[in-house]
């Protein structure tokens, strides 16, 4: 029989988390909610794209731009976490976990997240967004982890750096071949003609598989016993190199993003054009622009937490739980706001596509200051729920297997 006095410290060591990863993940989860609040509350969201430099303002552009960091950072950290899981449990256990969790995420996107976005139980559309991309990427990684790590790294680099060669490849029409290519590389934001449900593809998976694969390769520097000073130096070098490469490639307008930058009406808007990279699908320059600073964040955030960062890590430890509760929370608030401003509740429910495409909501919306207020309210309101779930997860993770999936 094991000695409880010894078993408890060993369990604590086994469950010890890397707080810098949780801090970065929590930070991007909080920022992510800002974009979703903007979609449901900001008046201009129903009129024009916030990155359209012919119509947007600097605050509106930056409110959208800062949220660009969320998906690629979270995907990278998912790869890092997979590497750590594999280091503890072996490649076979990791492969099984990644495949089954990927299946769960695809199911969640189709039947839970889509319903939360639309409040339409008839499912006229399946909105394939970030959770879908995570699911497919995890399933792909479940196969790749059987390969040698140098090969996995090479595959990640090729997918991230090379997929922009496919930018000129398009499959016209509205049928199955077009859908297939959209799932891989060419987004399709309007519903396909077949259905219901008619899929809407926002996150083609080729580059996202590359990002999670790079994250898995990066995870080796977080293995137990790895020298922290060496890790910091490597993170600083790779992060700085990514930023420099972004600047050089972007300046040249030669490769890495189908949307080139150009001189605008003033210097500020020219800078905005320079950083206005393509997210759908994430271009090489978009990936360098977002992941470079993220790696610097990881390098600089290793160390003791303070009162604020300790609370931010709570969101980073329960990201899926937070994701699944923040969408309906924001949607319900938006429904109440629509009713309070003379719209019908039905304008915010039974949606057939993305909320900002609903013609009945033209003229609805609030100022950017209101958006930030609702965002802060959302984060503060959801923190107690996330904190309690985090405590429950920590206390029961050894006995309840399903907690690893939520």
Report if residue 207 sits inside a domain.
yes
Q: If we measure between CA atoms, which residue out of 42, 67, 28, 29 comes closest to residue 372?
A: 42
**C-beta separation of 258 from 283 below 8 A:** yes
Work out whether the CA dihedral 72, 215, 159, 241 comes out positive or negative: positive
- pLDDT at residue 216 in the model: 98
- pLDDT at residue 195 in the model: 72
Q: How many domains is the chain built from?
A: 1
| 51 pLDDT more than 80 | yes
- pLDDT at residue 354 in the model: 83
- pLDDT at residue 13 in the model: 37
Q: Mapping DSSP to helix (H, G, I), strand (E, B) and coil, where does residue 42 land?
A: strand
Instruction: Give the pLDDT confidence of 340-383 residue by residue, as tens digits.
Output: 999 988 889 878 888 888 888 888 999 999 999 999 999 999 99
Tokens 């580059």 appear where?
Answer: 207
Tokens of 253: 């307008």
The DSSP string of 292-348 is HHHHHHHHH--S---HHHHHHHHHHHSHHHHHHHHHHHHHHHHHHHHHHTT--GGGG
**C-beta separation of 211 from 72 below 8 A:** yes
| 1 pLDDT more than 60 | no
Give ∠ CA 110-142-225 in degrees, rounded to 5: 125
Report if residue 82 sits inside a domain.
yes
Report if residue 365 sits inside a domain.
yes
Report if residue 7 sits inside a domain.
no
- pLDDT at residue 16 in the model: 64
pLDDT mean across residues, the chain: 93
Report if residue 2 sits inside a domain.
no
**Structural domain of residue 109, as residue ranges?**
14-405
Q: How confident is the model at residue 404 (pLDDT cuts 50, 70, 90)?
A: confident
Instruction: Give the pLDDT confidence of 83-97 residue by residue, as tens digits.
Output: 999 999 999 999 999
Instruction: Give the pLDDT confidence of 108-165 residue by residue, as tens digits.
Output: 999 999 999 999 998 999 999 999 999 999 999 999 999 999 999 999 999 999 999 9
Report if residue 6 sits inside a domain.
no
The CA distance from 337 to 328, in Å, is 14
- pLDDT at residue 398 in the model: 79
Tokens 């137990």 appear where?
Answer: 224
Q: Is the pTM of this model over 0.85?
A: yes
């Amino acid at each position: 029989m094991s000695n409880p006095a010894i078993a408890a410290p060993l369990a604590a060591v086994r469950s010890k988390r890397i707080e810098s990863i949780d801090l970065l993940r929590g930070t991007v989860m909080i920022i992510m909610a800002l974009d979703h609040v903007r979609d449901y509350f900001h008046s201009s969201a129903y009129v024009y794209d916030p990155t359209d430099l012919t119509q947007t303002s600097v605050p509106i552009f930056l409110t959208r731009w800062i949220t660009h960091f969320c998906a690629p950072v979270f995907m990278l950290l998912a790869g890092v976490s997979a590497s750590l899981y594999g280091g503890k449990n072996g490649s076979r256990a990791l492969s099984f976990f990644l495949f089954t969790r990927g299946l769960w995420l695809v199911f969640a996107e189709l039947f839970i997240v889509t319903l939360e976005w639309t409040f339409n139980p008839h499912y006229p559309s399946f909105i394939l967004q970030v959770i879908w991309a995570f699911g497919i990427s995890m399933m792909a990684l479940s196969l790749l982890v059987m390969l040698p790590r140098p090969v996995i790294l090479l595959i990640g680099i090729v997918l991230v750096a090379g997929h922009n060669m496919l930018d000129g490849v398009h499959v016209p029409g509205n049928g199955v071949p077009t859908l297939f290519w959209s799932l891989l590389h060419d987004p399709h934001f309007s519903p396909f003609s077949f259905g219901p449900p008619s899929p809407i593809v926002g996150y083609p998976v080729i580059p996202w598989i590359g990002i999670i694969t790079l994250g898995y390769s990066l995870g080796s520097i977080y293995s137990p016993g790895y020298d922290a000073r060496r890790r910091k130096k490597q993170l600083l070098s790779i992060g700085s190199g990514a930023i420099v490469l972004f600047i050089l490639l972007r300046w040249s307008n030669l490769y890495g993003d189908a949307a080139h930058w150009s001189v605008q009406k003033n210097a500020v808007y020219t800078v905005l054009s320079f950083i206005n990279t393509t997210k759908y699908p994430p271009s090489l320059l978009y990936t360098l622009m977002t992941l470079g600073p993220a790696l610097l964040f990881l390098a600089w955030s290793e160390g003791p937490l303070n009162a604020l960062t300790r609370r931010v890590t709570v969101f980073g430890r329960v990201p899926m739980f937070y994701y699944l509760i923040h969408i309906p929370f924001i949607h319900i608030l938006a429904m109440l706001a629509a009713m309070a401003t003379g719209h019908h509740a039905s304008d915010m429910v039974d949606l057939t596509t993305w909320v900002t495409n609903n013609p009945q909501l033209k003229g609805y919306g609030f100022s950017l200051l209101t958006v930030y207020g609702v965002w802060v309210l959302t984060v503060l309101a959801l923190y107690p729920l996330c904190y309690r779930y985090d405590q429950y997860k920590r206390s029961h993770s050894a006995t309840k297997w399903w907690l690893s999936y939520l």
